[in-house]
Amino acid sequence: MTKTELKVKKLRIFDFDDTLVKSNSEVYVTNNGKTKTLTPGEFAIYKLKSGDEFDFSDFDKVIQPKKIKSMFRVFKNIYRASGSRRLTILTARTAYKPVRQFFKDSGYNDVFIVALGDNNPQKKSDWIQSQIQKGYNDILFLDDSPKNVRAVKKLKTKYPDIKMDARIVNYD
């Protein structure tokens, strides 16, 4: 079967925090008895230090979510576009239910939510690789974390026949 004979199977993936939504959820970092807070955006670029202990309990709920208008427009356009594609929210959060409820409350009932429960960029890459192995061959990945995007872009080398676009989301 040639590349043109393959059935196109589209997968569109968005990160949640600081890509589609700003919330008041924070990461608590404790080191040597001192605790500081980081927003998801700050955490995305945080350099780990020896002895850091993290508390992600704020991410068991979606606290005061505010849609990031420019990216939510992109999300809506993909959601409403004709043709077959799976739209997925791929989050490092542990709990998927609060994210699913946010989308239901926003009028999007059939968005697939994957909560990895891990902030290691390789976990997002591994999940996307598992979808490639299920036959997805046209992939768009949008995330605010350069580390996550770099990890996913490495899949392009491993799967050169897959149409893959992994982009860092910048908004203002």
Give the SS3 label for residue 57. Answer: helix
Residue 126, SS3 per DSSP: helix
For residue 1, the model assigns a pLDDT of: 46
CA-CA distances (angstroms) from residue 6 to 62, 138, 157?
40, 11, 20
Burial bucket for residue 32 (CB in 10 Å: 0-12, 13-18, 19+): exposed
DSSP assigned state of 26: -
The whole-angstrom distance between residue 37's C-alpha and the CA centroid of its chain comes to 21
Read out DSSP for 65-108? -EE-HHHHHHHHHHHH-SS-EEEEEEES-S-SHHHHHHHHHTT-
Residue 86 confidence (pLDDT):
93
Q: What pLDDT is stored for residue 44 in this prediction?
A: 76
pLDDT at site 172: 55
**How many angstroms separate the CA atoms of 85 and 149, rounded?**
21
pLDDT for position 89 = 98
Q: How crowded is residue 153: how many other Cβ atoms within 10 Å of its Cβ?
A: 15
Q: What is the pLDDT along the chain (172 residues), one digit of tens a residue?
A: 455 556 899 999 999 999 999 999 899 999 999 999 998 878 877 888 999 999 989 888 999 999 999 999 999 999 998 788 999 999 999 899 999 999 999 999 889 999 999 889 999 999 999 999 999 999 999 999 999 999 999 999 999 999 999 999 976 5
Quote the pTM value.
0.87
CA distance 117 to 155: 21
